[in-house]
Structures are given as structure tokens and as C-alpha cells.
Chains A and B, each alone.
Chain A
Amino acid sequence: MRALVPLSFVLPVLVGCVVLAFRRWLPRMVTDLLCVATAATVAGCTGLLAHAAGGGRIVEWMGGFTPHRGYSVGIVLVVDPLGAGAACLAAVLTGCALLYGWRYLSDAGEHYHVLMLLFLAAMVAFASAGDLFTLFVFFELMGAVAYALTGMRIEEPESVQGGLTFGVVNSLGAYLTLMGIGVLYARYGQLGLAQLGAAIGAAKPDPALVAAFCLVCCGFLVKAAVVPMHFWLADAHAVAPTPVCVLFSGVMVELGLYAVTRIYWVVFATALPVATIGRTLLVFGVLTALLGAVMCVSQRHLKRLLAYSTVAHLGLFLVGVSTLNADGLAGTAVYVLGHSGVKAALFLLAGILLNRYRSVDEAYLHGRAGLRSPVGWLYLLAGLALAGVPPFGPGLGKALTEEAAGAGHPWLVWLFVAVSALTGGAVLRTGLRIFAGLGEPPGGGDEETTGRSEESETTGPVRGTPVTMLVATCLLLGGGLLVGALPGLARACGRAAAAAIDTLGYRDEVLHGTLRPLAEVPDSYWSASGVLLGLLSAALAVGVALLALARLPERLRRPLRPLEPVLVGLHRLHSGHVGDYVAWLFLGTAALAALVAW
């Protein structure tokens, strides 16, 4: 079983090498099959690992450099249920994305497959790293591959621009992280998470330690698209090929949050007080959720709309993490799983529209696609699921997270309801317009990105929807349903969260091999209030959609007028200018430090 820890990321690398080395002799069909099978195998391995880790961890010292009196020069991989679960999610999404892209991007050839496999390897290794520098190395691998995947559609200048913005902003964030790692290494002479944590211990937090924490977190918060470091996300999602969007929204940005959680709990939890860090993360989370939701409802470019909905949900995840307790983290884990299934399905459905109509513009597509094919129904269903309707996964995750967050600040419950209703409503509005032809096509300002005419991603326009695309979509949406419908999964997330925040247990098991019994975790599943609030936010989402589609009388529209300049101003801030994004990244870092120090 322990051998599976390195194998789960070496396997995709080896298959990628084989595909690259023998690409001239491998027919496309074989390559596709090989890659999907690899992703499925990795999903199986990581699933097994998550199960085997149970309430503890699997500790694997690379090269056999096992620690001697709590010290080792080697690298350790630590697989706990949370990490293995994240890796498993990455593998499942990669498999579905590859299945969907069965006939995609034919002129990029096998390069696309190799990059996808390397991306998977990077995410799996990232999720199992127990060493700060190894975490950083695989973070960089994730980045390097992701920039290239974003710019894949080289025929379009926007695509290269999106990839470049993504690359510049994320690399800058990564440099800040590297600085932070340097500070920690200079002070403590260690790089392992557990070793660093033990060395810092319960030290009184001095300014340099706070600075190191902020710098280290910075790169991961950029990856997690936390406001105001989120600007790259929508630009990258708008241009990236659809299967790549699935991985970005479904798991890559969430992994940024995973790293912050892991690093705080293992390295800093005994030194930096929970109250300070929780408050800081809460502020960023609320900001991210609100800005994401507002930007989401005011988009007409389908992929940008879905991207901003990811930003909004990330804000909610961050609020969940900011509770800094097991309940909040467990709810967030369920929420992430459910969200990734549903959001990935939505991206694939948008991709199906793009391939058939060469457009992702809500206005252009108005009434063009009917409800006769399953695509429309799936889209509307996914919209409802995103809004939190039971028994879908996002609904359960939302219920558990808002309960945990509401225990500290009761008003947070309404934040969850409002953000779910707004993002779900935006998706339902576009669905009703495109598939049912309701309402009138929206008119827009000239500054908007419409996505009116885009290059199709397949070689030619697609007649009908290929079975592989539909199967991948149904698998993802079905997965999103199962997350909410299977009580076992929520229970497993509860145990995973309890193990992840067990700071001393992690350090002891990694450094000394001693096992500490995990506290009993209470079962959590749908509660009556959770079901009701889920239904409420779904109903509100339908309301938001219908309100946007209906032509309101002038009397009702007048009070909203003063809000329009604010919205225009927000849209102008998302200018696509790299310099702007860098300026906001700097301000975000400074704000993070100010909030932690305050």
C-alpha cells in the first residue's frame, strides 16, 4: 500500500513519457485510451490511499532517509485522507476531461495529452507533499503546465494574452512564496512541514514569523483566486480549452486553499493564534464571495460567468476554512467535491455549445438551442444544483459549511444563501435564455467581453453531441449528486478534516512514528434547516433568473439606477491589463500582512 504513494504520481509521468517518445507510432485512439485509463488508475490508487489512511496518515520517506531523533535530510510524503481525497478528485476530473476531449485540439496533437498527464502528476504530488519545498516544486510544475494549457488555442490572440496574464500573476505570487520559504529555512534550517512546525513550536509570533507566513501563503492565495488576487482567473478560464477549465475550476484553485490550510495547521497553528488567522481569512473570504457573485450575475460570456461563480464559491470555501475547526473544514471538503462535479459539468455543457454554435455569448445564443436534446435539461439541472438544491453535493456542502460558519457569525448563513442564489440564478438565467428562448437578448455596453464569435475547439463544427462528451458530463453531474446523496462521503470528509487539523498528531506521526488516537467525529448529514435553506436558495435563484428575464416596469428599475456606475466601475477594474493585476497582487499581500499583524 505504501508503494502507491509515489506510484500515484510517477505513473502519469511514465505514461506521458511513453506518449511523447512514441507519439509518431501511436494512433490517436490509443493515446486517448491510454490517458483515460491512466487517470482512472490514479483515481483508484488515490481512492485506496484515502481509504487506507483512515483516520491517520501514510508517511513515506523518499530515499529511505527516515528521521533520526526527529530530524531527517530527506523529503517526506504524507498522505492523509484530505490530501488523498484532493488527489483522487484531480484524477477523476482529469479522466472526465480527457474523455470529453476525445476528439479535441487535433492540431496540438499529443502535446495536449502529455501536458494533461503532467498536470495530473503535479496535482497528486502536490497533495501528498509533506515538505514545504517539494510543495513549491510541484506547485511550479502545476503552474508551468497550466500556463501552456491556457494558451493552447494559438489561433486566437486573446488566448495567448490570457495565458500570459495567468503566468505573470501566478509566477509573481510564487516568488513571494519562495521568499517566505527562504525566511523560514534561514531561521530554522528545515524544510519539512512537520519539522518546521516542531521547530517553531509555541514560539511567540515575532514580525519575521508573521511575514514568513504571509509571504508563503501569498502564492497559494493567488492560485486560489482570492480577491484582490483573483483577476487572472476569469481571463484564463475565458480562453482555456473546456477540458482545461474543468481542471482549473474543479480542483486547481481549490488546491491553493488546500495548501494554505495544510501549512497553517501543520507549521503555524501552535504559534499564530486561531482568532487572528480566522478573522483574516474570513475578511478575504467574504470579499471574494461577494465580488465573485456580483461579477458572475453581470456577465454574458458563459465561460467568464462560470469562472466568476468559481471565484464566488471559493470565497465561500475560504469562509468555511476560516472557521478553523473540524466542522467548517469538513463542510468545505464536501462543498468542494460537490461544486467541482457540478461546475465541471457546466463547463462541459458550455463547451458543447461552443463547439456547435462557435459562440459562448448569451445574447447570440438566445433561443438558438432547444430543449429537445438533453444538453439544455442538464444545464438547467446543474444550475439548480449549483444554487444548492437538495440532494446535490453543493447543497449538502453549503448546508454543512453555513452551519459551521453560522455558529460563530450568524449573518454568514445569509451570505451563503445570497451567493448561492446569485450564482445559481445567473446560470439559470443563461440556461433559460439559451435553451428556452425566454426573455430578450441582453444589450450590453461596448466594454464587455461577449464571447460572440470564437473558434470551435474541435476540427470541424460538431453535428449532434458526441457520446463521449455527454457521458463525461453525465458522469460529473452524477458525481455531484452522489456527493450529496451518499451519507458515507460526508462522514469520510468529517474524519479527513479532523485528521487534517490535528497539528500535534501530524507532527508526531511524521517525525516519531507515534500514533495518536483521533477524537471521535460526530456524523453530519442533511439537517432540516440545511434542506430548507437549500430549497430557499434554489427558489431565490429561480427568482433571480426570472427577474433578470422579465422586463421590469420603470418604477421598479429606478431605485437600482445608482448601482449601475458601481457595476461599470467593477467591470473596468477587471481590465485585462497585467500591470493592474500586479498592483492588486501587491496590495493584497500588504492587506494580508496588515490583517494578520493587526
Chain B
Amino acid sequence: MNRRLRYLVFGLGAAGLAVLFALALAGLPGFGGDSHPYRDRAVHAALAHRTANVVSSINFDQRALDTFGEELILLGSVVGAAALLRPSRRESERPAPDPEARAVPDSVVLLCTVMLPVTVLVGLDVIAHGHLTPGGGFQGGVVLATGLHLLFLGGRYPALQRIRPLAGYQFAESIGVATFATPGLAGLAAGGAFLANVLPYGQFASLASAGTVPVLSLAVGVAVGGGVVVLLAQFLEQALRYSGER
């Protein structure tokens, strides 16, 4: 197709789609209305399971299966990226760059050194309190994984490589995913349903509350943290260690 024909087809389609969107939007309820059937019931269900953070209750209790699916999407993407970015037979390893070549300002190094432990702590906190305050496994896992990469920003890729035995992180990722399914299966074994909240609910708004919600949140945190490290590692390795055609 030449350019003009492509634009013509696209223009026609886009115009149709725009009309469709306009019609759909016109049929939506107005902004800020009172009728929120799902919200009302979800808050009720979260309180019944003594979960302070309703969003976490939806993510890890009421609609935990969707979270399981999303975790699998991340796992699939990480494994897929690892498979696609594996060094091909045509690629060769680059000689290690001169450590002095990539000078990083001292201020950046200092900032990264200070921020690294802080970020890791924040990540752990976000995971641990996911059922009480905004946060949870997904967010915390991403914070943790990004924290480690401050080492790379600080110009020390070898240091990052040292604290990043990839096999270990991949292990963590798969164990995290498997752990998410395990309490689910426990619910099934206890004669209930898959992903049923089988643990005691505890006291509202205390660390040990909400039953399986913190457990699942932790599992997701481990899986997401490991997964994001492995994912970024594939891209970094491809960009820094391998060159194109041999």
C-alpha cells in the first residue's frame, strides 16, 4: 500500500472509531454520581475480612484470580524477554569497557549510595504494609528492583552484577508465583474455594490482619521484584555486553 492509500484507509477507520467513542462516552453516567454498586459492596466485603486497604482487598482477596493472571503476564513477559534477548550465535561479547571511560559525577554517586538503602527499605515497607496502607506487592516489588539499579546509575555495573546473581532472582520469581498459588490451593484443600481467605482475619488495622492478603502480597512482591530485576538485566546485558553482528 502506498502512503496515500494507507492514510485514506486509516482516516476512514479512525473517523468511524471516533464516532463510536463519542457515542460510548455519551452513554456513560455523569461524573461524580452517587451510584457505585461495586464500590459499596467491595468496601463492605473488605471490612468483613478486616482489610484496611480496600484496594488490596480487591487485588488479593476479592479478585485475587485477576492478580494471579497479571502476575503470570509478568512472568511470561520476563521469560519471553529472556528468550528473545538471549545472545544469538551471531553476536559476540564486547570487550569490557574501561572503568574510567564512563565518568559519573561524584554527586550522582553519593546520591545513589545514600538512596540505595532507603529505596530498599521503602520497597520492603510498601510490601509489608500493603494490606493496611496504599501499596502492596506489585508496587513494592518494583520499588525494590529499581532500588538495586541505583548501583548501575551510580556507574558501577560490575557492582550491580555482583549483587545480581540472575539465577537467584529467577528462582525467586518462580517461587513467588508458585507461592501465590499455594494458599489458593490450601483454600481448595480445606474444602473451600480456590484462593479462599483461609487464615484468621486478626484484628482490624494491625500488621497481622486480613488473613491471606499480606501473604499473597508478599508472594507478589517477591515475584515482581525478582521478575523486574531479571527483565532489566536482559536489556542491560544486551546493551552493554553484546555487540551486533560477529
Binding site for B on A (CB under 8 A): 3, 5-7, 10, 13-14, 16-18, 20-21, 24, 60-65, 71, 73-75, 77, 107-108, 111-112, 114-115, 118, 121-122, 125, 133-134, 137-138, 140-141, 144-145, 147-149, 151-152, 154-155, 160, 163, 179-180, 183, 185-187, 189-191, 206-212, 214-215, 572-573, 575, 577, 579-580, 582-591, 593-594
Chain B minimum-CB-distance residue to A133: B66
Which of B16-24, B117-125, B141-149 lies on the face that meets chain A? B16-24
Shortest 4 CB-CB contacts between residues of A and residues of B:
A208-B27, A590-B16, A148-B80, A586-B13
> What total of A-B pairs shows CB separation below 8 Å?
232
Chain A minimum-CB-distance residue to B193: A64
User: In the complex, A81 Cα to B20 Cα: how many Å?
Assistant: 35
With contacts A144-B73, A207-B27 known, is A593 near B79, CB below 8 A? no
User: In the complex, A138 Cα to B13 Cα: how many Å?
Assistant: 28
Q: Indicate if the CB atoms of B72 and A64 lie closer than 8 Å.
A: no
With contacts A20-B79, A74-B63, A590-B13 known, is A208 near B23, CB below 8 A? yes
User: In the complex, A527 Cα to B62 Cα: how many Å?
Assistant: 50
B187 to chain A: which residues have CB within 8 Å? 63-64
Which of B31-39, B129-137, B150-158, B201-209 lies on the face that meets chain A? B31-39
Q: Indicate if the CB atoms of B9 and A63 lie closer than 8 Å.
A: no
Q: Indicate if the CB atoms of B76 and A148 lie closer than 8 Å.
A: yes
Q: Indicate if the CB atoms of A586 and B14 lie closer than 8 Å.
A: yes
With contacts A63-B197, A65-B62, A134-B65 known, is A208 near B76, CB below 8 A? no
User: In the complex, A584 Cα to B12 Cα: how many Å?
Assistant: 10
User: In the complex, A34 Cα to B80 Cα: how many Å?
Assistant: 20
**Residue among B35, B86, B197 with max Cβ neighbours from chain A (10 Å):** B86
User: In the complex, A245 Cα to B25 Cα: how many Å?
Assistant: 39
Q: Indicate if the CB atoms of B27 and A14 lie closer than 8 Å.
A: no
For chain B, the bracket of interface size reads: 35 or more
B21 to chain A: which residues have CB within 8 Å? 179, 211
Q: Indicate if the CB atoms of A583 and B88 lie closer than 8 Å.
A: no
User: In the complex, A334 Cα to B10 Cα: how many Å?
Assistant: 37
Is B220 an interface residue, CB under 8 A from the partner?
Answer: no
**Residue among A5, A10, A60 with max Cβ neighbours from chain B (10 Å):** A10
With contacts A63-B197, A587-B12 known, is A215 near B24, CB below 8 A? yes
Q: Indicate if the CB atoms of A64 and B196 lie closer than 8 Å.
A: yes
User: In the complex, A145 Cα to B74 Cα: how many Å?
Assistant: 10
Chain A minimum-CB-distance residue to B179: A17
Within 8 A of A (CB), among B80-119: 80-84, 86, 88-90
Q: Distance (Å) between the CB of B231 and the closest chain A CB? A: 12
16 further A-B pairs in the complex, CB-CB below 8 A; given A77-B65, A114-B79: A18-B178, A24-B167, A63-B64, A65-B45, A73-B45, A140-B69, A140-B73, A154-B88, A180-B24, A186-B28, A211-B24, A211-B27, A572-B1, A587-B9, A589-B17, A590-B19
B173 to chain A: which residues have CB within 8 Å? 20
With contacts A21-B175, A144-B73 known, is A212 near B24, CB below 8 A? yes
Q: Indicate if the CB atoms of B76 and A17 lie closer than 8 Å.
A: no
**Residue among B13, B170, B173 with max Cβ neighbours from chain A (10 Å):** B13
Is B200 an interface residue, CB under 8 A from the partner?
Answer: no
With contacts A13-B72, A573-B1 known, is A145 near B64, CB below 8 A? no
Is B139 an interface residue, CB under 8 A from the partner?
Answer: no
Q: Indicate if the CB atoms of B13 and A585 lie closer than 8 Å.
A: yes
Question: Which residue from A13, A21, A108, A586 sits with its C-beta under 8 Å from B170?
Answer: A21
Q: Indicate if the CB atoms of A183 and B24 lie closer than 8 Å.
A: yes
A149 to chain B: which residues have CB within 8 Å? 80
Q: Indicate if the CB atoms of B20 and A215 lie closer than 8 Å.
A: yes
